[in-house]
Amino acid sequence: MSTFLLINIGLGIFFGIGSLIVVRMILRNHRRYQFNLEVTEELSRLIKDAKKFTAPKKTMDHDKVFGPNVDLQDPQMLATLVTVLVHKYGNLRLKLSDFAALKNEDYVSVYVDTLKTELILSLDHSMAEADVDPVLTNFIKPDDSTYH
């Protein structure tokens, strides 16, 4: 009977130690789970802040910049644009040599600065690409029907 008793005591100690190891592993896994939750919350907050920081500051709202019912491709808009230029800079004299100096590749790119709500006319066709802040919008796609 003493052998049977020793085997039972040995098994009891074995299962007791095994139970303690399992409880220790459960506690360690629970701590890891809590740490992972904290890391997840912190990363979610950082991603949210990063999205706010990298989001465009202002989107282009055509009606807000130019008012309702304004079509930049309308001939009346071209006439208005020329009127604004002459009003701002005074009389402008264009000679035949001014027209002859243009190359067939020359055209004016139209950009909109959405922060300052300004219309930009430029011979630089890559202003929107070179702009660090996404405030310049290339408003009209260049095409072959542009008057040169």
- Say how far apart CA 41 and CA 35 lie, in whole Å: 10
pLDDT number for residue 37: 93
Indicate the domain borders of the chain. Answer: 1-55, 62-138
**Per-residue DSSP letter, 112:** E
pLDDT number for residue 148: 41
58 within 8 A of 114, measured Cβ to Cβ: yes
**Per-residue DSSP letter, 71:** -
pLDDT number for residue 22: 95
pTM, two decimal places: 0.42
- Say how far apart CA 81 and CA 139 lie, in whole Å: 15
| Tens digits of pLDDT across the chain (148 residues) | 788 889 999 999 999 999 999 999 999 999 999 999 999 999 999 888 888 777 655 555 555 556 666 666 677 777 787 888 888 888 888 888 888 888 888 877 777 777 777 777 877 777 766 655 545 555 555 554 544 4
Buried b (16+ CB within 10 A) or exposed e, 54-74: eeeeeebeeeebbeeeeeeee
- Say how far apart CA 146 and CA 141 lie, in whole Å: 10
Distances (CA, A) of 112 to 80, 81, 108: 16, 14, 13
